[in-house]
Amino acid sequence: MPANARHQWRYTVLLGAQWLVLAACAWAQAGGPAKAGAALQQADAAFRAGYAAMQAGELEKARTEFAQAARLAPRMAEPRVALGAILVQMGKPTEAIPELERALALRPGDPGAEANLAAAHEELGRALAAKGKTAEAEAEIQAAIAAIKTQPDARQMAALQDELGSLLAQQKRWAEAETAFRAALADPAQPAAAAAVHMHLGTVLLEEKRIEEALTELRLGAETGSAAGQDGNALAEFQLGHGLVVAGQDEEAVVHLERALKLSPDLPGAALEMAMAKQRLGKQDESIPLFQKAILAEPKNPVALTNLGLALTQTGRAKEAIPYFERALIETPADPVVHEDLGVARLQQSEFDAAIAEFEKARGVAPQDPQVHYDLGLAYKLKDRMDDAVLELTEAERLDPNLPDPPYTLGILLMQTGKLAGAVDQLRVALALRPDNGDGWAILGSVLKQLSRRPEAVEALRHAIELLPNQPSPHITLAGVLAEQGETAEAAAERKRAAELSRTAVNRQRAAFSTNAGNQLLARGEIEQAVARYLEAIAADPSFSDPHSQLAVAYSRQGRAAEAAAERAKAEALARTP
């Protein structure tokens, strides 16, 4: 049933009342009892009684009186139009249809009979759709559209085309559904109805992978949806958010999904959609309460359970994640992704055997998934099952040669087992795929040094130094290679630089420790002691911006405004320094 079904039903009721009034006028113009005998006089009395009952809201009495009038005046259309209209109002479309068809046989083109016949077919179509009889429902809506010939009402026709489009979309007949929705938009419609049609059309265009066109329609739905009231607007915002998710525009999608949830906090699917968008954006902490809300609404939803477990694992809460993965596996026991994610959580808990068991289950279901083989290889490595690890990492590399992690991990494993030439080959493959891996270049340089391949080692280590300018270890290794080549001065310069970087690192650690201690003192209101610790931090590492900015806060609390401003300026200048 389309989103504006309740609006359509109210309109149908008004439609029946409207055409009863017109039928009454036509009856009066036809002469009523003035033209005749007792039967027609009785018909007139019955018609008038039916009309009065209708105005009083006594629908069953109105139906009885109109039926009596139709029997007494079988050649007149008005009683049958009135009877059909009242039956539509009473929710009896199967009884209304033959009466209205007889009225049209008596008076072809009667607009009241046509409009109510369309309404009857529409209600019957809705009833069939509710029972899952989509094809039969479609036939009734097509019949409703065909019934309106003489004076088509734009709002009624738009509603019918929208309903037809929805039925066609349920059958995945996207092109036909699009045609119906565009026909619905061709006629003037109330904002609420137009918003629904734009949403429906946008959804169909999404299914057809016509992303930009879909977003245009969904934006129109959101813009006009506010006229539909709070719930309608929430649905419009949700549909637009979903479309943006499909388009890969998670940042903007979150904005609209947040609006949808603010307007309708319990809107089905909205919390889960937003949680997953935030998860993809790396906002794991923000996604967790949203996943929890989604699970409260759908406790057995495997997607929500799995992704909550993943978010917890990614934030270092693997112990909490494990029960959610286990619940997800109850719903989808053969899902390799859940087994793999559970294995990662077990690995984070150092439960190596349990992790291996999950990865092996995932491999059994998805033997062509390179990530599964990689994870299993890593678990075998941590369990010191080196031969098994090599087999799995090699298979992961074979299945996807563009993944940098398998050859990198395999290179390290081969290095650790003394297979240095093989390690070099694998590390070079990994670095070709991820050339900005400074640690990888440093490891490659170290392995090449052990193989006495000094010119290659120097080149690799200089790459590492360029990418990791503040780390002393590549300088130390490079100094060793240069010394072996007899380049003593250059080797001494590298050792000196390494020593400087080591001192800087130690000083930064001291400064960070003193800054943290100062922050704790400041939080307790011990401002003078906090100032002392911040000054210690600055003395340890004058280039560290954090203690300067915190010292500015402490000075401000002491009322030393000028000194606070000076420290704040220093902090800002240091933060801008590369």
Residue 225's pLDDT is what? 65
pLDDT band at 58 (very low <50, low <70, confident <90, very high): very high
User: Distance of CA 358 to CAs 310, 324, 365, 369, 392, Å?
Assistant: 15, 15, 11, 14, 15
Q: Alpha helix (H) ranges present in 226-263? A: 230-246, 250-263
**pLDDT tens profile 290-340:** 999 999 999 999 999 999 999 999 999 999 999 999 999 999 999 999 999
Measured between alpha carbons, how far is 402 from 430 in angstroms, rounded to an integer? Answer: 9
25-54 as b/e, with b when 16 or more CB fall inside 10 Å? ebbeeeebeeeeeeebebbbbbbbbbbebb
pLDDT higher than 70, residue 266? yes
Report the percentage of the chain scoring pLDDT > 90.
69
Confidence at residue 355, expressed as pLDDT on a 0 to 100 scale: 96
Where is pLDDT greater, at 13 or 200? 200
What pLDDT does residue 34 have? 47
**For the domain with range 510-578, which CATH number is right: 3.40.1440.60, 3.40.50.300, 3.30.1300.30, 1.25.40.10?**
1.25.40.10
* pTM as predicted: 0.72
Provide mean pLDDT across the span 183-195. 74
What's the whole-number mean pLDDT along residues 534-557? 90
pLDDT digits (tens, 9 = 90+) for 121-148: 999 999 999 999 999 999 999 999 999 8
pLDDT range class, residue 274, cuts 50, 70, 90: very high
pLDDT on residue 560: 86
Instruction: Mention the CATH class of domain 1-189.
Output: mainly alpha
The reported pLDDT for the residue numbered 455 is 96
> Can you tell me whether residue 480 is helix, strand or coil?
helix
List, for residues 93-120, the tens digit of each pLDDT value. 999 999 999 999 999 998 888 988 999 9
Tell me the per-residue pLDDT of 427-436, one tens digit each, with 9 for 90 and over.
Answer: 999 999 999 9
Tell me whether the CATH fold assigned to 1-189 matches the one assigned to 510-578: yes
pLDDT value, residue 239? 93
Distance CA 408, CA 397 (A): 10
pLDDT band at residue 280, thresholds of 50, 70 and 90?
very high
pLDDT band at 509 (very low <50, low <70, confident <90, very high): confident
Which burial class, exposed, middle or buried, applies to 578 when counting CB atoms under 10 A from its CB (0-12, 13-18, 19+)?
A: exposed
Residue 485 has pLDDT above 90, yes or no: yes
Spatial CA neighbour of 20 closest among 143, 105, 119:
119
pLDDT score for 10: 31
Of 66 and 225, more confident: 66
Q: Is the pLDDT of residue 168 over 80?
A: yes
pLDDT in tens, 254-263: 999 999 999 8
The structural domains of the chain, with segments of one domain joined by +, span 1-189, 510-578
Residue 12 has pLDDT above 50, yes or no: no
